[in-house]
Amino acid sequence: MKMVSPFTDENQFGNSVAQSVLDAFRRLPSHGKPIVRANGLKEWTTLAGIVAHNVEENTFECISLATGVKCNAVSKIDQAKLGCVLHDCHAEILALRGFNRVLLENIKNIKEGKPSNILIKKEKEDKFKCPKKMTFHLYVSECPCGDASMELLIKKSKDKEPWRLRNETPNQPLRGRADFSQLGIVRTKPGRADSPCSWSKSCSDKLSAREYLSLCNAQTSLLVQPIYLSTLVLPTEVVEESAIKRAFGATGRLAPLAEVCIPPYKFTPFQVLQCDVPFEYANTSNSSEKKVTSTNVQLWMGNVVQQREVIHNGIRSGVKATNFEKAMSLVCRRQLMHLLKAIQPALTNDANYANWKEENKERREAKRLLMSVMKGWMPNEGSDFVWD
């Protein structure tokens, strides 16, 4: 993996990506952003955003962004509401979900004869692809949790001694902060030992998976040629070169994937760029000021969508939980399935979500290969629900 040091032309590119996300974030209303609490403590959060770069025109457009560091525990998710509640509300993952919603909305527009600046129709099949002039980039204000941040955790830890699991099982994913000596393996959220367990893999693991499966999710992969991330942009102070290379690099933990191609998927590592553009709500390590984690989660989708959501406990804030149709986020699995059905009903014949996912043979096989390479990757248990 090519690492880019600060103060280079590529670093300026990273700054441009970051600035595009920050500008979009600062245009949003204050509701949902971190606050100063009544006791005087300031809140912090993580910001992430997907940016489209038009290479020919050298323009940057923030497609989706999110803030948040929350993850819903298995015990807190009503089994009757699977597919309606967002499990993983870390900023990076929400931004990716928002990006896929934007892709679906663009496809809907194209089918209705409206223009799109990020997708074009393929000539000989009823599918879509990205124009060659467009590349996509992810900015994150903190190092993604999991494998890419283990060395940072060691440096920040006061006692340098990680907590250990009592009943550790071989080939199982580790909790985020368990056993710092175990590197290159899958970890789950949340990282804290005193927090309830979830099904969600760490952001490092999910971003690594995108290097093979692409940015497209279960819904968009049926309609869109794989779109791979070109760069991941991180603040200079959170980049540990050895960790980044191990987690995301061509010679790191995913290296075996380079030898196997399951069309249309292929291992496409992204480049990691650094930036020095400050985010005002970051949890900066060089500050002596004590901060607390913001409980707010926010999602914004730009381009043809132009929708903003403040999310609490996996559903839209401000909507009564009893009115669940309105409480669902636009990026939850049920909502994405309903949009896919509206676009192309023939792709949504099975009402059971787990069975429906299995029908996408190429993606299913690619994911199985990925799971065999990533140590400890276990299938989630939250897909067995009826979405329609």
Catalytic residues: 92
Of 154, 152, 199, 194, nearest in space to 173 by CA: 199
The DSSP line for 261-317 is -BTTB---PPEEEEE----TT---TT----EEE---EEEEE-TTT-EEEEEETTEET
The torsion angles phi and psi of 14, rounded to 5 degrees, stand at: -60, -40
Query: Is the CB of residue 94 less than 8 Å from the CB of residue 207?
Result: no
250: Cβ contacts below 8 Å, ≥ 6 apart: 1, 258, 267, 269
Query: Is the CB of residue 94 less than 8 Å from the CB of residue 331?
Result: yes
Of 235, 233, 229, nearest in space to 273 by CA: 233
Tokens 């991330």: give the residue. 229
Q: In the sheet where 231-235 sits, what is the strand order? A: 271-275, 231-235, 134-140, 47-54, 59-67, 297-301, 307-312, 315-316
Q: How many CB atoms lie within 10 A of CB 103?
A: 28
* DSSP bridge pairs for 138: 50, 232
| Max Cα–Cα distance, the chain, nearest Å | 62
